[in-house]
Amino acid sequence: MSVLVVNSGSSSVKFQLVEPSSGESLASGLVEQIGEPEGRIVLEFRGEETEKRREIADHGAGLSAAFEMLRDAGVELGSEVTAVGHRVVHGGEVFFRPTLIDDDVLKKIADLSELAPLHNPPNVLGIEVARHQLPDVPHVAVFDTAFFHGLPDAAKTYAIDRDVAQAHGIRRYGFHGTSHEYVSQQVAQFFGRADLNQIVLHLGNGASASAIRAGDPIDTSMGLTPLEGLVMGTRSGDIDPGVVMHLRRSAGMDVDEIDELLNRRSGLKGLAGVNDFRVLGQRIDDGDADAQLAYDVYIHRLRKYIGAYMLALGRLDVIAFTAGVGENSTGVRADALANLEGFGIEIDADRNALRSKDIRAISADSSTVTVLVVPTNEELAIARAAETVAQNID
Ligand code: ADP
């Protein structure tokens, strides 16, 4: 028996059939180039990859195509799938735990689109199609914001007029919560201790940092939207909000253009023209000054957050690197934590250079803070959450 995990995101639909207890991935796939003349659907099943290309009008059509490919490959969705877990980006103040989806819940998720216009609408479409295709199994929404719901007031409050903030739901929500929670639990398991103070660095295309005290987050770098915080593949992260007014007044850009600039044409891409870290690394090796600057800005911001979270936590036990860049880039890990011996943080170069798919320590024995690389697995976390909700339906 397995759980189908659906991530109907802003630019693609990802899906995976997961066996929650073993953690095994039975099938996985991706639908991308949605809305373009030739969309792409890829399915990996029993070690074989199949690819189809055809026009995919929207996320709903994309997910329908994914279901069709799974069925064509011989997956008996009706009998094999016990629950469907949906990644939903914004749960607002309304949702803070995995939630069984009914019409009312779906409407509330749609209403939250005001807070997440790029993310919640495709999430809703994905849920609608999946419910239509698999009407007899429970569908569960797992929210990216949920883990950070209980952030302390001082960390979640923006210093703006309180009435305006209240009227418009403006607070820091935090995102990538499923990954930060999963990774911090893996760390706790690795040590067999729940009382650890951790900094988790989720460095993928999107990137975020969190400070976690004994399992509970006390701060995180993303805010009302996933735009705040670290430098990312295509997002600026922190900037002076005055930049937005300046662009509006002096450059005559409208709000959608500024949104697009800060979310899709900034970060590494804005500075160096590429958002893929591997390509960035090659450009740096070739002597490209823009790529070097992009990297330096990225590392500078990352170190700023690490420093801030060390103070917020008071005592630091673990720094955990995760996601595409965090799990794979030895250089980023080394540079992010260089010259911090005075703070009890020291990386061992040989351990850092080792490649592995397992959780592993890369700090020196003399380091008082343990530095770990922890592979994240949001799909498995969603599958387990969905299974738990499904098992507890009265
Ligand atoms: P997301 O889930 O946010 O799309 P991922 O967690 O998959 O992103 O991370 C994607 C990023 O990880 C890309 O910038 C990619 O270049 C980077 N990455 C993947 N493998 C490596 C590697 N071996 N070395 C450096 N960066 C890598």
Exposure class string for 329-340: b at 16+ Cβ within 10 A, else e: bbebbebbbeeb
For the annotated catalytic residues, the residue numbers are 144
Predicted local confidence at residue 36, as pLDDT: 87
- pLDDT-derived band at 371 (thresholds 50, 70, 90) equals very high
Tell me which of 232, 268, 278, 285 to substitute to probe ligand 1's pocket, judged by most ligand atoms within 8 Å of the beta carbon. Answer: 278
* Smallest CA separation from ligand 1 atom 25, residue: 329
pLDDT at position 318 over 80: yes
pLDDT at position 386 over 80: yes
* Smallest CA separation from ligand 1 atom 12, residue: 324
Q: Do domains 2-143 and 192-378 have the same CATH topology?
A: yes
How many Å lie between the centroid of ligand 1 and the Cα of residue 267?
Answer: 14
Residue bearing the bigger pLDDT, 192 or 65: 192
Predicted local confidence at residue 340, as pLDDT: 98
Give me the CATH code for the 192-378 domain, please. Answer: 3.30.420.40
Ligand 1, atom nearest to 202 Cα: 6
Predicted local confidence at residue 87, as pLDDT: 97
**C-alpha–C-alpha distance, residues 366 and 3, integer Å:** 43
pLDDT at position 9 over 90: no
* Smallest CA separation from ligand 1 atom 7, residue: 324
Predicted local confidence at residue 220, as pLDDT: 98
- pLDDT-derived band at 1 (thresholds 50, 70, 90) equals confident
How many Å lie between the centroid of ligand 1 and the Cα of residue 174?
Answer: 21
pLDDT at position 76 over 90: no
Predicted local confidence at residue 99, as pLDDT: 98
pLDDT at position 237 over 90: yes
- For 13-52, the pLDDT digits (tens) are 999 999 999 999 999 999 998 888 889 999 999 889 999 9
Tell me which of 5, 205, 282 to substitute to probe ligand 1's pocket, judged by most ligand atoms within 8 Å of the beta carbon. Answer: 205
Which of 5-9, 162-166, 322-326 is the least confident region?
Answer: 5-9
Mean pLDDT of 204-212: 96
Exposure class string for 112-148: b at 16+ Cβ within 10 A, else e: bbebbebbbbbbbbbbbbbbebbeebbbbbbbbbbbb
Predicted local confidence at residue 117, as pLDDT: 86
How many Å lie between the centroid of ligand 1 and the Cα of residue 151?
Answer: 28
pLDDT at position 175 over 90: yes
**C-alpha–C-alpha distance, residues 57 and 302, integer Å:** 38
pLDDT at position 60 over 90: no
Predicted local confidence at residue 11, as pLDDT: 80
- For 286-317, the pLDDT digits (tens) are 999 999 999 999 999 999 999 999 999 999 99
How many Å lie between the centroid of ligand 1 and the Cα of residue 202?
Answer: 11
Q: Which two tokens stand for residue 102?
A: 């009914």
Ligand 1, atom nearest to 268 Cα: 14
* pTM metric for this prediction: 0.95
**C-alpha–C-alpha distance, residues 56 and 122, integer Å:** 14
How many Å lie between the centroid of ligand 1 and the Cα of residue 277?
Answer: 6
* Smallest CA separation from ligand 1 atom 3, residue: 205
Give the number of other Cβ atoms within 10 Å of residue 348's Cβ: 16
Tell me which of 328, 376, 382 to substitute to probe ligand 1's pocket, judged by most ligand atoms within 8 Å of the beta carbon. Answer: 328
The domain made up of 2-143 has a fold known as Nucleotidyltransferase; domain 5 (3.30.420)
* Smallest CA separation from ligand 1 atom 2, residue: 204
How many Å lie between the centroid of ligand 1 and the Cα of residue 333?
Answer: 13
Predicted local confidence at residue 37, as pLDDT: 87
Q: Which two tokens stand for residue 100?
A: 């069984």
* Smallest CA separation from ligand 1 atom 21, residue: 328
Q: Please say whether the beta carbons of 389 and 82 come within 8 A.
A: no
Mean pLDDT of 270-279: 96
363 DSSP β-pair partners: 347
Ligand 1, atom nearest to 206 Cα: 3
pLDDT at position 394 over 80: no
Residue bearing the bigger pLDDT, 117 or 272: 272
Tell me which of 235, 277, 354, 376 to substitute to probe ligand 1's pocket, judged by most ligand atoms within 8 Å of the beta carbon. Answer: 277
Helices marked H in the chain: 59-72, 77-80, 103-111, 120-133, 153-156, 162-168, 177-191, 242-250, 255-264, 267-272, 277-285, 289-313, 323-328, 330-336, 349-353, 378-391
- The rounded percent of the chain whose pLDDT value lies above 70 is 100
- For 358-370, the pLDDT digits (tens) are 999 999 999 999 9
How many Å lie between the centroid of ligand 1 and the Cα of residue 62?
Answer: 24
Pocket of ligand 1 from Cβ distances under 6 Å: 204-206, 233, 276-278, 323-325, 328-329
* CA torsion through residues 174, 180, 181, 184, sign: negative
- For 124-145, the pLDDT digits (tens) are 999 999 999 999 999 999 999 9
User: Any idea where the domains of the chain sit in the sequence?
Assistant: 2-143, 192-378
